[in-house]
Amino acid sequence: MLTLALLAPASGLAQALPPPPPVPAPAPDAISAMMSDPCIAARTDWPGLCQYRNQNRGVQTNPRAVFIGDSITEFWLTIAPALFAGDIVDRGVSGQTSQQMVGRFYQDVVRLHPRVVQILCGTNDIAGNGGPTSPDDYANAVLAMTDMARANGIAVVLGAIPPAGAFNWRPGYRPASEIIALNSWLRALAMQRGLVFADYHTALADAGGAMKPGLSSDGVHPNAAGYAVMEPIARAAVAQAEALRASASAGPNPQPAKDVTLSQRR
């Protein structure tokens, strides 16, 4: 029995904002670091703006959903591409923390005008990929992305951080309880703000908070079997977010908060 736990609270999306004024080209008579394509000369790209810049320009229609995240999202497209065969767009960047995702959220999500965004981040914050951090720093980044999405009429799915009992690139770390604590906060935020919470952790975790055997080759990144567990949760979450978005657009009387639990035998 696989349980797909989604929170479906009341929704309160803002109407999509009008397009901004045209952005000026680099001033031809100026001497500065501004250029039309900085990725050609970029020596550092902390937010990862260059990874999807050209692909974003090639997106011709507004996607149904954008999945923004770290390597767990990026590798999803490579290992289990079926989810992204239609109008769901993958915008994962390996190694990124939540703060880095904030830096590219407008480019990689808002400017594509999706109906839904899934935000899946936290593994690399806990691992300290960007240096020491705190739960408050993580919360600020998630809130910033959530607020940007909602201000632009995009429904939000918060993905639970997948389980991990250790990080092979951080010897000595034991992150399971930190992951559980941040997931509890994400769940509470979803209930408070009218978001969908996609509970990947419960579906993937063993009793000790590590990844179940057979679902990952390194205990952190899902393999094909792991993504097979995650995919129906993701599909259900996107559908639920779309329904909440439609409900919010239909009138000023949102549905009361409730838990929605879908079950599927495997």
For the segment 230-239, the average pLDDT, to the nearest whole number, is 98
Q: Are 105 and 148 a contacting pair, CB within 8 Å?
A: yes
What is the DSSP-derived secondary structure letter of residue 248? Answer: H
Average pLDDT over every residue of 207-229: 98
* Mean pLDDT of the 58-72 span: 97
| pLDDT confidence of residue 243 | 95
pLDDT tens across 66-110, in order?
A: 999 999 999 999 999 999 998 999 999 999 999 999 999 999 999
The pLDDT value recorded for residue 43 is 78
For the chain, the average pLDDT equals 90
* Spatial separation of the C-alpha atoms in residues 135 and 137, rounded to whole Å: 5
Q: Domain coordinates of the chain in residue numbers?
A: 2-12+60-252
CA distance 119 to 102: 10
For residue 14, what are the CA distances in angstroms to 2, 34, 116? Answer: 34, 33, 13
The dihedrals phi and psi of 48, each to the nearest 5 degrees, come to 75, 30
pLDDT of the residue at 203 = 98
- Name the pTM for this structure: 0.90
Please say whether the beta carbons of 175 and 157 come within 8 A: no
Q: Write the DSSP symbol of residue 128.
A: T
Instruction: Look up the CATH number of domain 2-12+60-252.
Output: 3.40.50.1110
What are residue 194's phi and psi, to 5 degrees? 80, 45
- pLDDT at residue 172 is higher than 90: yes
| Residue 253 pLDDT grade (very low, low, confident, very high; cuts 50, 70, 90) | low
